[in-house]
């Protein structure tokens, strides 16, 4: 049996998640936060300006994963 490393498994799962079509916004943001935490680690950017509602939602979803 071939051994698969954690990074390969993570990237495969991230790719598969793009095919989910029936997720609500909250679920999409949770997946985004998990992806950013898994690929970039803790948030290292400042929070977007409040007029950027999508950017703020994504930043918040990432921040909660720390």
- Per-residue pLDDT for 2 more than 60? no
pLDDT at 60: 98
Tokens read off for 11: 């990237």
* In-domain check, residue 18: yes
pLDDT at 16: 87
CATH code, domain carrying 52: 1.20.80.10
42 Cβ contact partners less than 8 Å away, ≥ 6 residues apart? 66
Number of domains in the chain: 1
pLDDT at 50: 93
Residue range(s) defining the domain that contains residue 30: 6-63
21 Cβ contact partners less than 8 Å away, ≥ 6 residues apart? none
* In-domain check, residue 13: yes
Q: Assess contact for 34 and 10: CB atoms under 8 A.
A: no
Residue with tokens 């936060």: 33
**Which parts of the chain are beta strand (E)?**
none
pLDDT digits 0-9 by tens, 16-60: 888 888 999 999 999 999 999 989 999 999 999 999 999 999 999
């Amino acid at each position: 049996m071939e051994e698969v490393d954690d990074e390969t498994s993570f990237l495969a799962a991230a790719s598969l998640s793009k095919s989910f079509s029936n997720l609500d916004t909250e679920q999409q943001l949770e997946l985004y936060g998990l992806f950013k935490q898994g690929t970039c680690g803790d948030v290292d950017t400042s929070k977007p300006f409040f007029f950027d509602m999508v950017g703020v939602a994504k930043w918040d979803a990432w921040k909660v994963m720390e």
